Structure 1
Amino acid sequence: MFPTQTLEDNDVDMGFSEMSDAQLMEQLGQTVPADEAPATPEEIRLLMQQEFQRLLEDAQRETRFGEELSEAFVSNDLPKDFEEEEEDECWDRSALEHSEYRPYPNKTAMLLDVMDNLPRCRFSSTQMAMIIHFAKQLGAPDVPSLKAFRKMQQTLQSTCGNKPIKITSQLGNVFYMNDIRETLARNMANPLVAPHLHFYPEETDGPISETYQAERWMEYAPSQLTPMFSRGHKRFWIEELAQLKNGTFVIPRTLIVRNGVLISDVSIAAQASDGRWKVLDEERTVKADDFELDYDDLLAHFGTLVWVNNAPVSPMPNEMRQLVAEDEDLFVIMASPWADDVSGNRSKQYNKHMNMYTGNGCLPGRLLQQEYHVHFISTSPTLHQLNSLLPSRDHVKSTEKEPVRCYNAATNRMCRFIIRTPGLPADNPQQSEEASHIGGNSNYPCRKCQWGGTQIEKETEEIYHQCHLAGIARDAARVRQNLEEQIHLSMLGDSNAVTEHQRATGTKDKITQYWVELLLAKSKALKMEDR
C-alpha cells in the first residue's frame, strides 16, 4: 500500500535499530554536512514522524482517488463566505403546487430541511454548507445553494410555521405563547399521529391504563364528547333519528367504545298510524356498524318529521351541525396543559422560569410518554402559572363556538374539533397555586376540603380522625368570598389581619395577592400623608 524507497544492497538486511544516525538521515532524504553536528535522536524522531505522515497521505490519495483526482480533491470549490454566495434557483417555483413533497419543492429540499431541524443534532451553517457541497459533488439532483436553502426555510416558516402570540397579562407582563389550537391541529394532520387518536370514552373490564378509559371522561354529558361518527359520506349524530340495517328506527343517545368496538345506547322510535313519530319505552345497545341511514337520508325519504306531543326528543337536526360544514366531521379533543417552574440557566444557579406544556389526551399512554408528544406552550421568568393559563383558557373556550378547522390525516378530509380540558396535571405545590390554596405546610393543608386547624387542634382526637374522612369540599364561591374579604382588609391597611385571614381559611391567590400588596402600600402611603 505504501511506496517504499530502494535500499542499497548492503542495507537490505540491516534494520533501523542497526543504522547509524547518518544512515537514518540519508534514508529520510536528509544530508548532514560534514561540518555540522549530527542530528539528535529527538530530531530524527520528528523527521521520521513527518516523513511517515507524508507517505501515508500520498498513499491514501493514490489508493482512493488516483493520481488524476487528488489535485481536484485538494482544490475544492467550497465557498469561503456563505453570505456572499450567489443564490441559485435549482427548482421551478411555479411547479410547487404540483410537487409530490409540497410544501417542499422536491425531495432533496425536504430531506435537507429535516436534517437541519433534528432536535438532538443541530447543524451550523458551515456544516450545512459542507453537506450541500458533498451532495453536489456526488451528483444529487436539485441541490440548492445554502442561501437559496435558507430563503426556502424562511418562506416555509412564514407560511407553515406556528407563529407565537404576543400576550399582555393582567399585571402588565408581556410574554409569547404558542396557540394550543394550532398545536392540536397539527396532530390531526400528522399521518403518524392521527390514526392513534381516540375520540370516544372506552369501557374496559381490566385495569385502566389510558386516559380515555378513566371515569373522568364519563363525567361529561354525551353532547360534550364527540357527538357523531361517520361511515363513508354518512354522518350519524346523537339525538338524531337514524335507521339500522334491520329496518329499526333509533335515536342514538351515547357513543362509547366497548371491547374495542364503537357502540351506542339507543332509544327505539316508530312511526304512528297518523304519520307522526314517537319514542317507544325501549332501549338497546347496538354497534355503530349496524347503522344504515342517517338523518339526512330519512329526511329526504319522509320529509319533515313530526313528533307526538311530549316526545322525549331533542331538536332535530342536532344543533352542533351548525358548527361544521356538510362534508366535515366534528371531534372533541381532550388536552391537559400543565405548568411548572424550571431553571433557565445551564449552571447550577437557579433561575426560575414558569414553563407551560400540553399533551393530547386522546393518544395512548405509550405515546404520551414520548418527548415527541410533549408540546411547548410558553415560558416566562416573571409570570405565575395562573397568568399563563388564562390565555390558554380563552383559546379552549373559543373552540366551543368556533371549532378549529383542520385536515384529518386518518380520513383524508377536512374536519373540525372542540378542545376540552379534563384536568390540569401538576405536583402538589402547583396544584395548590391553581386552586388558590396557601400550600401544604399551612394550618389548612388540604386544597380539596376545609379540614385543618392550628397545630394543637389537629392533634386532638376529633380533628385528627376527620383527616382520614371526606371533608367539606372547597368550592369556587367560598374561595371567591375569602379573596374579597382579603381585599377589603387590605383596603383598611391591616396587613396582619390579611395574613391571619389567609392562615385561618387556607385561601391565598397569586393574582389577588398582587392587588392586596398594592392596596396595603397605598393605604400606608395615605396614612403617612395624614400625619
Structure 2
Amino acid sequence: MDDSTYPWPSKVTFITDLLFGLTRLRFSEAQKKAVLSWACEMGAQNVPTLYALCKAQDHVHSCIRNPTCKVTASSGNIFYINSIGSAIAKDYSNPLTHFCVHDYPEDGRGNMSQVHHGSKMLHELPEELLIPSVRINNNIYFWNELLQLTTGFLSLHVSFKAKSLVQSPSKSKLQHLTPFQAGFAVDPECIILEVSSFQRTYIDLQTDMHLCGFTCK
C-alpha cells in the first residue's frame, strides 16, 4: 500500500483511475480495456486490471461516499443526481478549497459577476439559509442572539454581508433592543452597521444579569 496515494492502493492505480474518470474525456468499457492492454504490451509495470480499478473505486467511495445517485425515471431515462450538501461539506473539509468558499453574501456595489453578488442574496435570502455566525476579535457572534455595540445599545443579530473583494463580513443587519423590567422592546426597523461596532457577545451579556434581565437557575 502506497500511503502517498491512499485510499488508492498505488500510484499507478491512482493515475489510471484519474485518467478514466476525466469528466470531459469519457472512456467506454471497451476503450478502457484497450488502453490497459496497450500499456501491458508496451511493457508498462504494475498495470492494474479493469476489475482492480473497479474495486479501488468502490473502496474510495466507501471512504468518502459517492455524492452522485443514479435514478431511473418511469420513462426509462437515467439521471444522476448530485448531493449539494455533500459537495459543500467536501469543499469545507478540503484545505485547498476551504478558503475559496464565499461564506457571506457580498455587496457588489452595483455590479454583479457572481451569484453571491445578487440582490436576492443580500436582501431576500431566508434567514435560516444564511451563515449563522461571524468571528470578530476572537469572539463568536451568532445571528438571532443578543449582542452589545460599542455605542452601548443592545441589538439582535439578523444577518451579515461582506464588502466586495473582502472574505470576512464587514456589515450586519441589526435590530435594536431596549431592556426593561419585563423583558425587551424590539425596534421593528432594521439598521445596517459595521461589525467592528460589536463589543460583547451573548455569553458576555449573561454575566451582567442586572443589565439584561437574565435570571439565575
Scaled to the shorter chain, the TM-score interval is 0.5 to 0.7
TM-score (norm. length: structure 1): 0.30
In the aligned structure 2, how far is the partner of 1:256 from the partner of 1:227? Answer: 10
Aligned mate of 2:34, from 94, 101, 126: 126
Amino acid at match of 1:165: V
Q: Are residues 260 and 286 of structure 1, via their aligned partners in 2, closer, same or farther at CA, if it must alter by over 3 Å?
A: farther
Alignment of 1:132-531 (within 5 A): 134-136=43-45, 143=46, 145-146=48-49, 147-157=51-61, 160-161=65-66, 162-168=68-74, 173-180=75-82, 182-183=83-84, 185-190=86-91, 191=94, 194-218=98-122, 220=124, 222-231=126-135, 235-244=140-149, 249-261=154-166, 262=169, 263-269=171-177, 271-272=179-180, 276-279=183-186, 285-288=192-195, 291=198, 293-299=200-206, 301-302=207-208, 306=213
Amino acid at match of 1:151: K
- Work out which structure has the larger RCO, using CA pairs closer than 8 Å and 6 or more positions apart in sequence: 2
Q: Which residue of 2 aligns with 1:115?
A: 19
TM-superposed deviation, 1:120: 3.9
CA contact (8 A) 1:222 1:255 kept: no
CA contact (8 A) 1:202 1:257 kept: yes
In the aligned structure 2, how far is the partner of 1:204 from the partner of 1:186? Answer: 26
Aligned to 2:36, what secondary structure does the other structure show?
helix
Q: Are residues 134 and 285 of structure 1, via their aligned partners in 2, closer, same or farther at CA, if it must alter by over 3 Å?
A: farther
In the aligned structure 1, how far is the partner of 2:103 from the partner of 2:123? Answer: 15
CA contact (8 A) 2:106 2:161 kept: yes
Deviation string 1:127-168 (CA, Å, 9 cap, x unpaired) is 2344467552xxxxxx46324334223443566332313444
Amino acid at match of 1:200: Y
In the aligned structure 2, how far is the partner of 1:128 from the partner of 1:245? Answer: 68
Identity percentage of aligned residues: 18
TM-superposed deviation, 1:186: 1.9
In the aligned structure 1, how far is the partner of 2:44 from the partner of 2:193? Answer: 59
CA contact (8 A) 1:116 1:128 kept: no
Amino acid at match of 1:203: D
TM-superposed deviation, 1:113: 1.4
Q: Are residues 111 and 296 of structure 1, via their aligned partners in 2, closer, same or farther at CA, if it must alter by over 3 Å?
A: farther
The RMSD of aligned alpha carbons is 4.1
Amino acid at match of 2:158: R
Q: Are residues 222 and 117 of structure 1, via their aligned partners in 2, closer, same or farther at CA, if it must alter by over 3 Å?
A: closer
Q: Write 1 or 2 for the structure with the bigger share of strand.
A: 2
Aligned to 2:55, what secondary structure does the other structure show?
helix
TM-superposed deviation, 1:194: 4.7
CA contact (8 A) 2:71 2:81 kept: yes
Q: Are residues 149 and 214 of structure 1, via their aligned partners in 2, closer, same or farther at CA, if it must alter by over 3 Å?
A: closer
TM-superposed deviation, 1:264: 0.2
TM-superposed deviation, 1:237: 2.8
TM-superposed deviation, 1:223: 1.4
Structure 2: unaligned runs, 5 residues or longer: none
CA contact (8 A) 1:228 1:235 kept: no
Q: Are residues 194 and 135 of structure 1, via their aligned partners in 2, closer, same or farther at CA, if it must alter by over 3 Å?
A: farther
CA contact (8 A) 2:39 2:47 kept: no
Deviation string 1:158-194 (CA, Å, 9 cap, x unpaired) is 66332313444xxxx35443334x1452244144655
Structure 1: unaligned runs, 5 residues or longer: 1-90, 93-98, 137-142, 308-531
In the aligned structure 2, how far is the partner of 1:246 from the partner of 1:144? Answer: 69
In the aligned structure 2, how far is the partner of 1:145 from the partner of 1:241? Answer: 60
Deviation string 1:377-426 (CA, Å, 9 cap, x unpaired) is xxxxxxxxxxxxxxxxxxxxxxxxxxxxxxxxxxxxxxxxxxxxxxxxxx
Q: Are residues 205 and 186 of structure 1, via their aligned partners in 2, closer, same or farther at CA, if it must alter by over 3 Å?
A: closer
In the aligned structure 1, how far is the partner of 2:77 from the partner of 2:198? Answer: 50
Q: Are residues 302 and 284 of structure 1, via their aligned partners in 2, closer, same or farther at CA, if it must alter by over 3 Å?
A: same
CA contact (8 A) 1:236 1:242 kept: yes
Deviation string 1:106-130 (CA, Å, 9 cap, x unpaired) is 4443222112222344452232344
TM-superposed deviation, 1:296: 4.5
In the aligned structure 2, how far is the partner of 1:104 from the partner of 1:291? Answer: 48
TM-superposed deviation, 1:289: 5.3
